[in-house]
Amino acid sequence: MEYVYAALLLHKLGKLVDAESITKIMQAAGAQVDESKVKSLVASLKDVDIDKELESSIVASAAPATSGGTSEGESAPAEEPKEEKKEAAAEGLSALFG
């Protein structure tokens, strides 16, 4: 994952995303560089429009999460577990102080 971060940093700075640049960033960060991973990443990014991919990934991550099984009309009981935890904590404290 750190190799992808290095490539994104280079892209953000307007620098060429190549094996030498990624290697320099990784070395500057103190990481052990795996040349095969660097070469693989550079080859994978060869014909990729990074800006376009970032736009599509932001749209995908901004989509609302679906609920795990409740329908529109139903609401999940979100407050009940919090209430129980407070009561259990209060019981524990009363045991400490008599």
Pair 39, 59: CB distance under 8 Å: no
Per-residue pLDDT tens digits for 10-47: 999 999 999 999 999 999 999 999 999 999 999 999 99
Share of the chain above pLDDT 70, in %: 59
Pair 7, 45: CB distance under 8 Å: yes
Matching CATH number, 2-61, of 3.40.109.10, 1.10.10.1410, 3.40.50.300, 3.30.70.2740: 1.10.10.1410
pTM of the model: 0.58
